[in-house]
C-alpha cells in the first residue's frame, strides 16, 4: 500500500543483511565458486548447488554447474525479485541475483552433494546422529 509506505535511506536498506537473503553487495568474477540461495528450476538450479561463474552481464550470470550429474553444463541465472515481509510492519523487495560466493559451506548445505575434494572442520563434536556420515559421504 503506497499510501502507508515508509521510506528509508538507501544506506539503511543497503545494510540489511538477513538470513536467507543474498548479500546486498555481491562481488563476482569469472571462475568464482558460488551457490544458489533459492530453488529456481530443480534439479539443475537448486538451493545450495555449486556453480562456477563463467560470464557476467548486468542482469544475467552465465555459470557452469559443478555437480557430477550436470558437470560443466552451462546455465544462465537472472536477477529475481526477493520479497521479505515481517508481518504487516515491514516489507522489503530487492531485485538481485540469488547467489553467494561459496568457498565453504555448512554440513546442511552440503547434504546430497558430491564433490571432488572435501575438507571437514569440526570445531565442536557432532551433535546429531548421521552428521559426520553426511560430511564424509560428500566426497566423490
φ, ψ for residue 91 (rounded to 5)? -135, 125
Residue ranges of alpha helices (H) inside 2-130 are: 10-15, 107-110
DSSP state of 23: P
Say what the pLDDT of residue 88 is. Answer: 61
Those residues whose C-beta lies under 8 Å from the C-beta of residue 25, and which sit 6 or more positions away, are 14
**pTM score, whole prediction:** 0.71
Q: Where are the domains of the chain?
A: 2-103, 104-140
Say what the pLDDT of residue 32 is. Answer: 95
The torsion region of residue 112 among left (phi > 0), alpha (psi -120 to 50) and beta comes to: left
pLDDT in tens, the chain (140 residues): 556 666 777 787 777 776 667 777 889 999 999 989 889 988 888 888 889 999 999 999 999 987 777 888 999 999 998 877 766 666 777 788 999 898 877 777 777 676 777 778 878 887 777 777 777 777 76
Say what the pLDDT of residue 75 is. Answer: 94
φ, ψ for residue 13 (rounded to 5)? -65, -35
Amino acid at each position: 500500500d503506497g499510501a502507508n509506505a515508509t521510506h528509508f535511506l538507501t544506506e539503511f536498506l543497503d545494510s540489511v543483511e538477513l538470513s536467507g537473503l543474498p548479500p546486498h553487495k555481491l562481488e563476482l568474477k569469472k571462475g568464482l565458486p558460488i551457490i544458489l540461495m533459492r530453488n529456481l528450476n530443480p534439479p539443475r538450479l537448486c538451493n545450495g548447488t555449486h556453480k562456477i561463474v563463467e560470464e557476467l552481464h548486468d542482469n544475467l550470470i552465465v555459470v557452469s554447474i559443478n555437480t557430477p550429474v550436470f558437470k560443466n553444463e552451462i546455465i544462465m541465472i537472472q536477477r529475481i525479485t526477493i520479497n521479505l515481509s515481517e508481518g504487516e510492519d515491514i516489507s522489503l523487495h530487492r531485485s538481485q541475483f540469488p547467489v553467494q560466493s561459496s568457498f565453504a559451506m555448512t554440513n546442511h548445505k552440503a547434504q546430497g552433494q558430491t564433490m571432488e575434494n572435501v575438507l571437514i572442520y569440526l570445531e565442536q563434536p557432532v551433535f546429531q546422529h548421521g552428521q559426520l556420515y553426511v560430511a564424509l559421504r560428500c566426497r566423490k
